[in-house]
Amino acid sequence: MTKHKNYFVDFTQFNSPKLVYVGNSDAIMAYGHGTVNIEIRINNKWEKHHLTEVWYVPDISRNLFSISQILKKGFKFQASKDECSLLRDHRVRMKGVRTAHGLYALEMRVLHPEISAEVCVASADQSLQLWHERLCHQNKAHVRDVLRKYQIKSDVKDSKICDGCCYGKQCRRPFGTRKQRATTPGDLINIDVCGPMQQQSLGGAKFYVCFKDDFTKFRRVFFMQSKSEVSKYLKTFLNEAKNAGNMVKEVLSDGGGEVINSTVKSILEKFGISSRMSMPYTPQQNGAAERENRTIVECARSIIYAANLPFKLWAEAVNTSVYVLNRTGPTSVKDKSPCELWFSKEVISIDHLRVFGTECFVHVLQQKRRKWDTKRVPMEFLLATVVKKMVIGYG
């Protein structure tokens, strides 16, 4: 068994994941099996062989070799205090030495294929709480729906109270919902500005503006040093919407000066977009944007508190929350994510998502290190993006 996808030269996914019970009686999932090319050291020489029926188990801590399975193939196993041997036809085929942990380490090494087999399975965790944290502390009932969509097994009986949510979320009873909703992407865009924050972000921002599509629930945020930048980012968002094939027809705002001014009016007229604003002191009329800011801030606050990270990372936490919500948040269409509806795409993968603030190791580019410097540095994981194929860390 191995957790390394890149070991396989061929791979077959199981029809349904199989349970594997590990030493502490926990159950983890195996998703398929395949062939791995190896070299075995015999009499100080390395001989090429291959292992078949190697199981892919993403959550296993180390590569494991099954003695019971090899015995079924006609091998004999011999062990002493310090070493072990596998024999067939009275000949030693493989040897191993005993480690400090009481296991035998086989004298074997993997031959990495030039082109590894495609292993496209979503990693599963038995803990609903872990996926709750990976999905930026969204409602656990919705997290269950997301896991069901991606056929990821989890402990549905998980009733753990989340400390991050206790610190990050509290609300009043909601106002009534609007009876008429948008029916296509771009019908109505809700705009709201959040800030000023009590501390600048790492990039110097004190505000962010959120544009949220009423039908798809897709949201786009931009970070700003002042509210006067709203007009610049409005134009950017409208161009992005056009490139995605969505024609914006109407925008709804709270009537703030940063949205109601000649520059914004000129941009909306150029794009042929009508503007509507809520009545003064009644933010409930722009409830979608107000709730969206609450949702984003609560997600961001929860993941910052849960990871015990400084508040100056609020922009990174907001960015991560929006990224996750766009891929997993609820929409007007069952079993469709905001990204899938906004960009008219098929199912978008979430198996690259990890918990905000967990320890990771970042490779140091050759140009950034000297001869004897280490090739990696420890950081806190913030976000892994699929579009730009990169990981964002803090340290």
The answer to whether residue 384 scores a pLDDT higher than 60 is: no
More confident residue, 291 or 96: 96
Contact 187, 214 (CB under 8 A): yes
Q: Cα–Cα distance between 157 and 128 in angstroms, integer?
A: 8
Look up tokens 């070299």; give the residue. 39
How high is the mean pLDDT of the chain? 83
Q: Is the pTM of this model over 0.85?
A: no
Tens of pLDDT, residue by residue over 211-261, are 999 999 999 999 999 999 999 999 999 999 999 999 999 999 887 777 888
Tens of pLDDT, residue by residue over 288-333, are 545 777 889 999 999 898 888 889 999 999 999 999 999 998 888 9
The answer to whether residue 164 scores a pLDDT higher than 70 is: yes
> What band does 393 get if pLDDT is binned at 50, 70 and 90?
low
**What pLDDT shows up at residue 124?**
43
